[in-house]
Amino acid sequence: MREFFQLFATPGFYAMILQLSTPLVFAALAALVSNKAGVLNIGIEGAMVSAALSAALLSTLTGSAALGVLAGVLAGILMGLFFALCAVRLRTNHILVGIATNILASGVAVFIIYAVTGNKSDYPGIAMTPWNVPILKELPFIGEILFQNANPLIYLAVIAVIAVRFLFRRTVLGVRILAVGKNEVAAASVGISPARVKTIALMIAGGLAGFGGAYLSLGYMSGFNTGMVAGRGFIGIAAEAIGAGHPVATALFAVLFGAVNAFSLAAQTFPSFAIPYELLNTLPYLTTTIGLVIYSVLRYRKAHPSPTHKEIKP
Amino acid sequence: MSTPILRMQGICKSYGPGIIAADDVSFTVDAGEIHALAGENGAGKTTLMKILFGMERPQSGDIYIRDERVLITDPNIAMAHGIGMVHQHFMLVDDLTVAENVILGIEPKKHGLLDREAARALVRSMAEQYDMSVDPDSFIRDLSVATKQKVEILKVLARRADIVILDEPTAVLTPQETKRFFEQLSALRKAGRTIIIITHKLSEIKTICDRITIMRKGRTVGTYDVASISEQEISRRMIGGDPSPDLIPEPVDPGPVLLSVQNVSCIAPSGKFALRDVHFDLRGGEMLGIVGVEGNGQRELVDILTGLRTAYDGTVILAGTTLRGMSIARIRHQGLSFVPEDRMTVGVNLDGSLLDNATAAIRDDRSFNVGPFQADRKLAAFARRLVSRYEVQHDSLRESIRHLSGGNMQKVVCGREIGICKTVLVADQPTRGVDVGAVRTIHDQIESLRRHGKAILLISSDLTEIRTLCRQAIVLHQGEIVARIDDLAGCSEEELGLYMLGLKRQDGRGATS
Name which residue leads in pLDDT, B3 or B320.
B320
Distance from A299 to chain B by nearest Cα, in Å? 10
Taking an 8 Å cut-off on Cβ atoms, the answer to whether A308 and B265 are in contact is: yes
How many Cβ pairs within 8 Å bridge chains A and B?
Answer: 83
CATH number where B41 lies: 3.40.50.300
Bridge partners of residue B212, in order along the sequence: B36, B224
> Residues B440-452: what's their mean pLDDT?
93
> Which pLDDT score is estimated for B214?
94
Q: Does A37 touch chain B (CB under 8 A)?
A: no
Taking an 8 Å cut-off on Cβ atoms, the answer to whether A190 and B105 are in contact is: yes
Chain A interface mutation, best of B55, B114, B116, B165, highest count of A Cβ atoms under 10 Å: B114
How many Å apart are CA B458 and CA A128, to the nearest integer?
Answer: 70
Q: Does B95 touch chain A (CB under 8 A)?
A: yes
Q: Which residue of A has its CA nearest to B272?
A: A307
User: Which chain B residues touch A179 with a CB distance below 8 Å?
Assistant: 93, 96, 100, 104
ipTM: 0.84
Taking an 8 Å cut-off on Cβ atoms, the answer to whether B265 and A306 are in contact is: no
Q: Among A289-298, B39-48, B76-85, B419-428, name the one with the lowest average pLDDT.
A: B39-48
Taking an 8 Å cut-off on Cβ atoms, the answer to whether B265 and A307 are in contact is: yes
Tens digit of each residue's pLDDT (9 = 90 or more) over B331-353: 998 899 999 988 888 889 989 99
The answer, yes or no, to whether residue B257 has pLDDT greater than 90, is yes
CB-hemisphere CA count at 13 Å for B179? 7
Q: What is the DSSP letter of A127?
A: P
Q: Does A190 touch chain B (CB under 8 A)?
A: yes
> Which pLDDT score is estimated for A121?
83
> Which pLDDT score is estimated for A228?
93
Instruction: Please state, in angstroms and as integers, the Cα–Cα distance from residue A47 to each residue in A100, A209, A238, A269, B78, following that order.
Output: 11, 6, 17, 32, 40
Looking at the structure, tell me whether residues B148 and B25 fall in a common domain: no
What's the Rg (C-alpha) of chain B? 24
How many Å apart are CA A81 and CA A200, to the nearest integer?
Answer: 8
Looking at the structure, tell me whether residues B428 and B485 fall in a common domain: yes
Taking an 8 Å cut-off on Cβ atoms, the answer to whether A306 and B267 are in contact is: yes
Looking at the structure, tell me whether residues B101 and B140 fall in a common domain: yes
Phi, psi of B88 (to 5 degrees): -65, -45
Candidates B75, B267, B324; nearest CB to A189: B75
Q: B215, B242, B269: which is the final residue of a domain? A: B242
The answer, yes or no, to whether residue B42 has pLDDT greater than 60, is yes
Q: Does B265 touch chain A (CB under 8 A)?
A: yes
On whether residue A213 sits in a domain, the answer given is yes
The answer, yes or no, to whether residue B17 has pLDDT greater than 80, is no
Q: Does A310 touch chain B (CB under 8 A)?
A: yes
The answer, yes or no, to whether residue A310 has pLDDT greater than 50, is no
Candidates B114, B312, B313; nearest CB to A171: B114
> Which pLDDT score is estimated for B507?
74
Q: Does A312 touch chain B (CB under 8 A)?
A: yes
Look up the domain containing A160 and give its range.
21-234
CB-hemisphere CA count at 13 Å for B323? 31
DSSP string, B45-100: HHHHHHHHTTSS--SEEEEEETTEEE---SHHHHHHTTEEEE-SS----TTSBHHH
User: Which chain A residues touch B75 with a CB distance below 8 Å?
Assistant: 188-191
Looking at the structure, tell me whether residues B59 and B183 fall in a common domain: yes
Taking an 8 Å cut-off on Cβ atoms, the answer to whether A176 and B79 are in contact is: no
Q: Among A115-124, A231-240, B412-421, name the one with the lowest average pLDDT.
A: A115-124
Distance from B150 to chain A by nearest Cα, in Å? 16
Candidates B114, B267, B311; nearest CB to A175: B114
On whether residue A49 sits in a domain, the answer given is yes
Tens digit of each residue's pLDDT (9 = 90 or more) over A140-179: 888 888 888 889 999 999 999 999 999 999 999 999 999 9
Distance from B492 to chain A by nearest Cα, in Å? 35
Q: What order do you get walking across the sheet with B313-318 strand by strand?
A: B273-283, B257-267, B313-318, B321-322
Taking an 8 Å cut-off on Cβ atoms, the answer to whether B106 and A190 are in contact is: yes
Question: Mapping DSSP to helix (H, G, I), strand (E, B) and coil, where does residue B267 land?
Answer: strand
On whether residue B475 sits in a domain, the answer given is yes
The answer, yes or no, to whether residue B385 has pLDDT greater than 50, is yes
The answer, yes or no, to whether residue A313 has pLDDT greater than 70, is no
How many Å apart are CA B438 and CA B465, to the nearest integer?
Answer: 13
User: Which chain A residues touch B106 with a CB distance below 8 Å?
Assistant: 190
Looking at the structure, tell me whether residues B157 and B41 fall in a common domain: no
On whether residue B480 sits in a domain, the answer given is yes
Taking an 8 Å cut-off on Cβ atoms, the answer to whether B113 and A170 are in contact is: yes
Instruction: Please state, in angstroms and as integers, the Cα–Cα distance from residue B149 to each residue in B102, B166, B184, B209, B294, following that order.
Output: 12, 10, 12, 19, 13
How many Å apart are CA B134 and CA B101, to the nearest integer?
Answer: 13
Looking at the structure, tell me whether residues B274 and B238 fall in a common domain: no
Taking an 8 Å cut-off on Cβ atoms, the answer to whether B94 and A183 are in contact is: yes
Other CB atoms closer than 10 Å to residue A230's CB: what's the count?
16
Contact B341, B457 (CB under 8 A): no
The answer for residues whose C-beta is within 8 angstroms of residue B332's C-beta and 6 or more apart is B338, B361, B420
Domain count, chain A: 1
User: Which chain A residues touch B312 with a CB distance below 8 Å?
Assistant: 306-307
Band (B72; pLDDT cuts 50, 70, 90): very high
On whether residue B386 sits in a domain, the answer given is no
Looking at the structure, tell me whether residues B154 and B225 fall in a common domain: no
Taking an 8 Å cut-off on Cβ atoms, the answer to whether A183 and B324 are in contact is: no
Q: Among B13-17, B284-288, B396-400, name the one with the lowest average pLDDT.
A: B13-17
Looking at the structure, tell me whether residues B146 and B284 fall in a common domain: no
> Which pLDDT score is estimated for A253?
94
How many Å apart are CA B53 and CA B273, to the nearest integer?
Answer: 40
Q: Among B178-182, B236-240, B409-413, B431-435, name the one with the lowest average pLDDT.
A: B431-435
CB-hemisphere CA count at 13 Å for B262? 14
Q: Does A286 touch chain B (CB under 8 A)?
A: no
Distance from A54 to chain B by nearest Cα, in Å? 33
On whether residue A265 sits in a domain, the answer given is no
On whether residue B223 sits in a domain, the answer given is yes
Candidates B94, B100, B266; nearest CB to A175: B100
When the pLDDT of each residue in chain B is averaged and rounded to a whole number, the result is 89
Q: B184, B215, B242: which is the final residue of a domain? A: B242
Phi, psi of B194 (to 5 degrees): -100, 135
Q: Does B224 touch chain A (CB under 8 A)?
A: no
Taking an 8 Å cut-off on Cβ atoms, the answer to whether A175 and B107 are in contact is: yes
Q: Does B270 touch chain A (CB under 8 A)?
A: no
Q: Does A297 touch chain B (CB under 8 A)?
A: no
The answer, yes or no, to whether residue B265 has pLDDT greater than 50, is yes
What is the percent of chain B where pLDDT is above 70?
Answer: 98
Taking an 8 Å cut-off on Cβ atoms, the answer to whether B104 and A302 are in contact is: no
What's the Rg (C-alpha) of chain A? 21
Instruction: Please state, in angstroms and as integers, the Cα–Cα distance from residue A138 to each residue in A133, A134, A147, A148, A152, following that order.
Output: 9, 8, 8, 9, 18
Q: Does B80 touch chain A (CB under 8 A)?
A: no
Q: Does A91 touch chain B (CB under 8 A)?
A: no
pTM for the whole thing? 0.81
Q: Does B269 touch chain A (CB under 8 A)?
A: yes
User: Which chain A residues touch B76 with a CB distance below 8 Å?
Assistant: 191
> Which pLDDT score is estimated for B15?
78
Q: Does A314 touch chain B (CB under 8 A)?
A: no
Taking an 8 Å cut-off on Cβ atoms, the answer to whether B92 and A183 are in contact is: yes
The answer, yes or no, to whether residue B464 has pLDDT greater than 80, is yes
> Which pLDDT score is estimated for B393?
84
Looking at the structure, tell me whether residues B232 and B197 fall in a common domain: yes
Domain count, chain B: 3
Looking at the structure, tell me whether residues B146 and B188 fall in a common domain: no
Distance from B24 to chain A by nearest Cα, in Å? 27
Burial of B4 per CB tally in 10 Å (0-12, 13-18, 19+): middle
Looking at the structure, tell me whether residues B450 and B327 fall in a common domain: yes
How many Å apart are CA B304 and CA B425, to the nearest integer?
Answer: 14
Taking an 8 Å cut-off on Cβ atoms, the answer to whether B114 and A190 are in contact is: no
On whether residue B340 sits in a domain, the answer given is yes
Q: Does B77 touch chain A (CB under 8 A)?
A: no
Q: Does B271 touch chain A (CB under 8 A)?
A: yes
Candidates B95, B109, B273; nearest CB to A172: B109
Band (B354; pLDDT cuts 50, 70, 90): very high
Looking at the structure, tell me whether residues B278 and B332 fall in a common domain: yes
> Which pLDDT score is estimated for A305?
63
Chain B interface mutation, best of A168, A175, A182, A302, highest count of B Cβ atoms under 10 Å: A175
Q: Does B18 touch chain A (CB under 8 A)?
A: no
How many Å apart are CA B212 and CA B209, to the nearest integer?
Answer: 7
Taking an 8 Å cut-off on Cβ atoms, the answer to whether B91 and A175 are in contact is: no
Q: Which residue of B has its CA nearest to A305?
A: B267
Look up the domain containing B112 and give its range.
92-161
Q: Does B308 touch chain A (CB under 8 A)?
A: no
Q: Which residue of A has its CA nearest to B269?
A: A303
Chain A interface mutation, best of B76, B94, B104, B156, highest count of A Cβ atoms under 10 Å: B104
The answer for residues whose C-beta is within 8 angstroms of residue A206's C-beta and 6 or more apart is A30, A47, A76, A77, A78, A79, A80, A81, A83
> Which pLDDT score is estimated for B342?
85
Nearest to A32 by CA among A153, A157, A161, A154: A161
On whether residue A206 sits in a domain, the answer given is yes
Q: B161, B179, B195: which is the final residue of a domain? A: B161
Q: Give the DSSP H or E segment for B30.
A: strand B20-30
